[in-house]
């Protein structure tokens, strides 16, 4: 198929989408502020700072997608008057506002923690009285990898929490969810309404940033159909095309939704080697109007993010069953600059690989040693 897909953003997600597109004879272009971005080696980068950049980008492709949910809606509105965008604008607009997102979950019967809008110090004080402590105070828009939020544990933190987050705009307060672990489900919906889901990933974080994901999530056979039901409700309600991610908390009362991401997701990077068809290829297929591929697992997998500093490539590649993905990004504290996929033969080998990898990574991670796969 000779087709070009335009992607808002040129980071590592756009890079991996373009890598998946090439074997299908699909080219990608990118709309990005920096022309020296991770995706630059894989297609034309049109600067979002250029005077006519947006229209040049629109002219560069047949159909469009995105790699980050904070894509400006003003740009989307200009684009959709001329070309198709997948996923739809509605999904993007909802994902950009946490209050809208929670309202959609409520509407579709997807459980969420109690929440309230906060627009003043007085309303925050009132919300604390209504919901009790602890609560998580978040910016309604923006924020990622633990940014834009404050865990409020005592009443004497109310003024501090307000002072730190109020400058960012509207806020949302959520009851703190007592959970045993965090999981995510990733699904894809084609233009014909076909839906396929990958197995749940169990996600672990380090300083608020995803450090590693285990797939399939251990002891999750009973959670998988529930998560699939929730994400399918979202996909069909939004008439969605492409990959959608739903982050969830596992609690003693079942699964609670945290947030959705209308894009390919860090917790799905494992699928490049670990699934018959990766999240990136299936997203490209959906956007291009092609049949979806199988989401079956090739082998249980662990994906580990490289954060801040690069390990020695030869040390990583010396590990049995390790696949290294570097994003052509410079080192910086807290920055995701690559990932490693481990594909062990059994749980004993997994434990060994994780211990070996923990010694190699410059940024120490608490890699779980009892990952029962």
Q: Looking at residues 3-10, what average pLDDT do you find?
A: 97
Q: Looking at residues 338-365, what average pLDDT do you find?
A: 86
258 is in an annotated binding site: yes
Q: Is the pLDDT of residue 373 over 60?
A: no
Q: Looking at residues 335-339, what average pLDDT do you find?
A: 96
331 is in an annotated binding site: no
143 is in an annotated binding site: yes
Q: Looking at residues 154-174, what average pLDDT do you find?
A: 91
Q: Is the pLDDT of residue 370 over 50?
A: no
Same domain assignment for residues 156 and 186: no
Q: Looking at residues 195-224, what average pLDDT do you find?
A: 94
Distance (Å) of CA 69 to CA 39, 94, 173, 176: 17, 10, 21, 24
Same domain assignment for residues 194 and 158: no
146 is in an annotated binding site: yes
249 is in an annotated binding site: no
98 is in an annotated binding site: yes
Q: Looking at residues 209-213, what average pLDDT do you find?
A: 92
**Among the ranges given (7-16, 125-134, 234-243), the one the predictor scored with the smallest mean pLDDT:** 125-134
Domain boundary among 175, 201, 218: 175
Same domain assignment for residues 273 and 343: yes
182 is in an annotated binding site: yes
Same domain assignment for residues 217 and 310: yes
Same domain assignment for residues 187 and 221: yes
Per-residue pLDDT band at 1 (split at 50, 70, 90): low
Q: 277-282 — which CB contacts under 8 Å span 24+ positions? A: 278/20, 279/186, 279/188, 279/198, 279/243, 280/16, 280/17, 280/19, 280/20, 281/20, 281/24, 282/188, 282/196, 282/243
Contact 226, 212 (CB under 8 A): no
In a domain, 249, yes or no: yes
144 is in an annotated binding site: yes
d(CA 373, CA 371): 6
6 is in an annotated binding site: no
Same domain assignment for residues 147 and 216: no
Q: Looking at residues 239-253, what average pLDDT do you find?
A: 97
In a domain, 35, yes or no: yes
Question: Looking at residue 347, what is its pLDDT?
Answer: 78
Q: Looking at residues 326-347, what average pLDDT do you find?
A: 93
For 39, other C-beta atoms within 10 Å of its C-beta total: 28
128 Cβ contact partners less than 8 Å away, ≥ 6 residues apart: 135, 152, 155, 158, 173
329 is in an annotated binding site: no
Q: Is the pLDDT of residue 145 over 70?
A: no
Contact 176, 131 (CB under 8 A): no
Same domain assignment for residues 231 and 248: yes
Domain hosting residue 285, numbered range:
181-360
Q: Looking at residues 227-252, what average pLDDT do you find?
A: 98
pLDDT above 70 covers a percentage of the chain that reads 96
Give the count of domains, the chain: 3
Q: Is the pLDDT of residue 172 over 60?
A: yes
Per-residue pLDDT band at 304 (split at 50, 70, 90): very high
Per-residue pLDDT band at 349 (split at 50, 70, 90): confident
In a domain, 242, yes or no: yes
305 is in an annotated binding site: no
Question: Looking at residue 369, what is its pLDDT?
Answer: 45
273 is in an annotated binding site: no
Q: Looking at residues 224-244, what average pLDDT do you find?
A: 98
Same domain assignment for residues 225 and 247: yes
289 is in an annotated binding site: no
Same domain assignment for residues 272 and 354: yes
Same domain assignment for residues 237 and 328: yes
pLDDT above 90 covers a percentage of the chain that reads 85
256 is in an annotated binding site: no
53 is in an annotated binding site: no
If one compares 360 and 370, the residue with the highest pLDDT of the two is 360
Same domain assignment for residues 19 and 133: no
Give residue-wise pLDDT tens across range 117-129: 999 999 999 999 9
| Mean pLDDT of all residues belonging to the chain | 93
Specify the 3-state DSSP secondary structure of 226: helix
243 is in an annotated binding site: no
For residue 283, the domain's CATH number is 3.30.470.20
Give residue-wise pLDDT tens across range 251-288: 999 999 999 999 999 999 999 999 999 999 999 999 99
Q: Looking at residues 23-52, what average pLDDT do you find?
A: 96
242-251/254-261 β-pairing: antiparallel
Same domain assignment for residues 235 and 149: no
325 is in an annotated binding site: no
In a domain, 101, yes or no: no
Residue 275, exposed/middle/buried by CB under 10 A (0-12, 13-18, 19+)? buried
């Amino acid at each position: 198929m000779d087709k070009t897909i335009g992607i808002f953003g040129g980071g590592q997600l756009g890079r991996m989408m373009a890598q998946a597109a090439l074997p299908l004879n699909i080219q990608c272009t990118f709309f990005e502020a920096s022309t020296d971005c991770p995706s630059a080696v894989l297609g034309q980068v049109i600067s979002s700072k250029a005077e006519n950049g947006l229209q040049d980008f629109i002219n560069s492709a047949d159909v469009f997608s995105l790699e980050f949910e904070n894509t400006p809606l003003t740009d989307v509105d200009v684009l959709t008057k001329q070309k198709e965008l997948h996923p739809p604008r509605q999904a993007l607009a909802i994902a950009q506002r946490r209050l809208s997102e929670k309202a959609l979950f409520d509407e579709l019967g997807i459980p969420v923690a109690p929440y309230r809008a906060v627009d003043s110090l007085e309303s925050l004080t009132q919300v604390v009285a209504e919901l009790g402590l602890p609560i998580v105070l978040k910016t309604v828009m923006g924020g990622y990898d633990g940014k834009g939020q404050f865990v409020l544990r005592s009443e004497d933190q109310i003024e501090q929490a307000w002072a730190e987050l109020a400058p960012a705009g509207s806020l949302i307060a959520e009851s703190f969810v007592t959970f045993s672990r965090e999981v995510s489900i990733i699904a894809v919906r084609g233009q014909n309404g076909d839906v396929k889901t990958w197995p749940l990933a169990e996600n672990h974080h380090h300083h608020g940033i995803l450090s590693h994901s285990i797939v399939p999530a251990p002891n999750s056979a009973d959670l998988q159909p529930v998560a699939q039901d929730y994400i399918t409700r979202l996909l069909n309600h939004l008439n969605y095309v492409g990959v959608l991610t739903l982050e969830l908390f596992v609690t003693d009362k079942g699964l609670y939704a945290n947030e959705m991401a209308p894009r390919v997701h860090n917790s799905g990077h494992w699928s490049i080697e670990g699934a018959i068809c990766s999240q990136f290829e299936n997203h490209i297929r959906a956007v291009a109007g092609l049949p979806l591929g199988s989401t079956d697992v090739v082998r249980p997998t662990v994906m580990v993010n490289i954060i801040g500093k690069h390990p020695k490539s030869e040390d990583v590649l010396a590990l049995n069953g390790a696949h290294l993905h570097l994003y052509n990004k410079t080192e910086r504290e807290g920055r995701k600059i690559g990932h490693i996929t481990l594909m062990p033969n059994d749980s004993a080998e997994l434990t060994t690989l994780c211990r070996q990898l923990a010694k190699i990574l410059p940024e120490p991670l608490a890699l779980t040693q009892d990952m029962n796969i």
